[in-house]
Structure 1
Amino acid sequence: MIRRRIGRPGLLGAMARTAVVAGTATAVSNRVERRAADRDAQQQMVAEAQQQQYAAQAPAQPAPAPPAADDRIEQLSKLAELKAQGILTDAEFAAEKARILAG
């Protein structure tokens, strides 16, 4: 005849139950972390793909063209008139002339 214990589990039963609970908690925790890592990796891939697609679609901005020679001559003529009228000093005239010629 086998005797069964009635009531609270013994030491081995309590240890077994604790091991099952701890193992289940660890398995669930690992699965949650793995899913989060997979989701983060997928979001990163989508973001990179969108950046590449945007870069391919966006036309390169051309550098602004330097002012045409006629435009420079016109600006220098106006500058000379302002200097002749006494509105600009020699230093101001030289600075603006250098800016126009460098542009």
Structure 2
Amino acid sequence: MGRPGLVGLAARTAVVAGTATAVSGGVARHQQRRAQDQYDQQQYEAAQQQAALDAAAQQAVAQQQAAYAQQQAAQQAYVQQTAPAAPAAPAGGVDVVAELQKLAALKEQGILSDDEFAAAKAKLLS
């Protein structure tokens, strides 16, 4: 009864190898699960940071739009206050300045071409 035989030694080696494989597989799964949890946490934090950046960008755009609208309103009010009064149109006549302004506005909007604008202007001034 001293030493085990060849079959006993092989059986013991198989048990040790099987236990080592099971333990290393469990450790590997645990490490993989931890790595996945850490990755998921990083992705969540990145999504939160991106959402905060998006919200801040939207707020900045809204503030810029409000400031621009305010500036435009102030500029329009200033122009209206400082603009000289338009001369009154002659009785029964056409206000040439107002008509030219209407033609210019139509040209800027793309309704009139350059040639059409020039023709209408020449007709109005003649």
TM-score (norm 1): 0.53
Which structure has more relative contact order (CA 8 Å, sep 6+)? It is 1
Q: What's 1:35 paired with?
A: 45
**Could you tell me how far 1:60 is from its partner in structure 2?**
3.0
CA distance in 2, matches of 1:23, 1:40: 26
Identity of paired residues, percent? 16
Q: Secondary structure at the match of 2:27?
A: helix
- Structure 1 vs Structure 2 CA RMSD: 3.9
Distance 1:22-1:40 versus aligned 2 partners, 3 A rule: same
CA distance in 2, matches of 1:54, 1:18: 54
Aligned partner (choices 22, 28, 51) of residue 18 of structure 1: 28
**Could you tell me how far 1:52 is from its partner in structure 2?**
1.1
Q: Deviations over 1:28-78 (max 9, x none)?
A: 11011001100100000000111111111112365x99xx568946xx9xx
Structure with max Cα Rg = 2
Length, aligned pairs only:
76
5+ unaligned residues in a row in structure 2: which ranges? 1-14, 81-85, 90-94, 101-117
